[in-house]
Structure 1
Amino acid sequence: MPDTILILSDRADRQVRQLQASLERLGFNILTLHLADIAFDTRFSSGLAIPGLNGALPAGVIVRSISSGSFEAITRRLGILHAFAQMDVPVWNSAKAIERCVDKSTTTFLLAHAGLPTPQTFAVENLANARDVAERELGHGPLVLKPLFGSQGKGLRLIRSVDDLPQPEEVDDIYYLQRYVAHSGPPFCDYRVFTCAGEVLGMMARRADGWITNMAKGAKAEPVIGTVRPLLEGLALAASAAIGTDFAGIDIVPAADGRLLVLEVNSMPAWTGLQSVVPVRIADRIASALAARIAPALDERPAA
């Protein structure tokens, strides 16, 4: 019986279906579950109850999405991913990488600590501290307020004055403020680079009429051409290494002065837009890279 790969997702989106087909072509059985449905259960030798596996462990895990929930719920779900890793089950991406990417302040800290170019960033609690930051920094240009745990361009605000700061209840009393990167537009452009297992699988330019260039907000994907490609590749691979991702979507913005700045590293990236402008089949490459990682992991796993 072929080994089982567990795809963790809260919705059967296009990426999940593509990954399933790619992994099945490699001979794996696929089980798709919500992470919330896996339980810690010490009746089993693994300590986990995984629906459909009768106490067995999967050969590998791909985390496609994790739904929102209370602090306790998210902590428990990430604990499940940590438990898989403890038992030598490859988890892409690992709980550690997901934690680093979901918390934008940690991502920015690690990028800056690695010496990568990233916009000046300030993450503080409570409105008084946010006002102090804004009063000090707005003289150098606008700031962008981002949800600490947000994605797809949701909740972004341009802060031009102290009065633009929202009330604490609107942002859970956490203010993540990043220097707005001035660049030409409209149309505005930035880049998404997709990395996997130490390689760049593809990249796209995202163009939009507004300064928010997420595909979910209506941006258009275009191929990346010219001498910027090797620069983007180097930055993306360095950013992935700094965060510790197995696969990732790295967002890079060109500044008006010609610099390229790393904005974010996404540990659960979609690739529909990217797939429309690159020849490689993203899901096939992820599946092949995970399969290559699984073989030695199975050899190293202790007997049950």
Structure 2
Amino acid sequence: MGENLSTRVAYGKALVEFGDNENLFVFDADLKKCTMSLYFAEKYPERFFNIGIAEANMVDIAAGFATCGATALVHTFAIFATGRTYDQIRNSVCYPGLNVKIVGSHGGLTVGEDGATHQALEDIGMMRGIPGMTVIVPCDSNEARLATKAMIEKDGPCYFRTCRPAVECVTDQFADYSFEIGKGIELVDGTDVTIIACGIMVQEALKAQKLLEKEGIHARVIDMHTIKPIDREMIIKAAKETGAIVTVEEHNVIGGLGSAVAEVIVQTENVPMEFVGVQDKFGHSASPTVLLKHYGLCPENIAEKAKKAIDRK
């Protein structure tokens, strides 16, 4: 059974578990106790480098290691991992297609009291817009562990987003669960509407499914852990079979999961679709629970959006 951990802690533990490779090197921007790369630093100090508060420099150093055959993983808060280093990621990592993994912790609103300056709500959109970049957003400790292994084994650039708070482990409750980059996972079958979620919104989507079930509405729930490449086949199948889609993400509704799914829908089935996420606003300083409810990232709002999508059929 998976533990109820934050995905950043689960990632840190998995990095140690799957990091026994002399060609794997880890870099951190003076935040190893937050990004949880400290686990790796303690076990493999000879392959860990604290670059200090010099994020752009860190990415270029990692790129240099990658040109010599290394698998290089860089770590900092998601807001810095994608924003402060965008130019280096685009031109030094993705343009030459180097084997560098960008691990952004503290993604989304659930950074909480750190406030808007540290709440990355644009990171997924920024990273999926770069050619050649893979984007992964695990939802719990079990998925984070398996995703870490898959990311390390996959050659090429990757953005891996983790969260700060501990969350319920849900994926290990499903017998058919298996992780593969680029393949979504149908957690619950349904015929009336499909809820597609990523990250810690998967848990909220499952709660919404239960609320809808009480009203006689059968919602399908899909864990879309890989935003790029998106699982087009699963999205199209869900659109055909349920006729309505709701996307749920701890991210701006512009550029993230919702946009990625909409790009598939508008080219194929073109069914009614609703978006649950931050409505093109910055965050605020408050507890994660308060923030998620304030911005509508909660089961009740997901259920309402599902009913709205059904009404639009």
TM > 0.5: no
Shorter-chain TM-score: which interval?
under 0.3
Please, what TM-score do these two structures have when normalized by structure 2? 0.26
Please, what TM-score do these two structures have when normalized by structure 1? 0.26
Whose Rg is larger? 1
Determine which structure has the larger helix proportion and give its number.
2
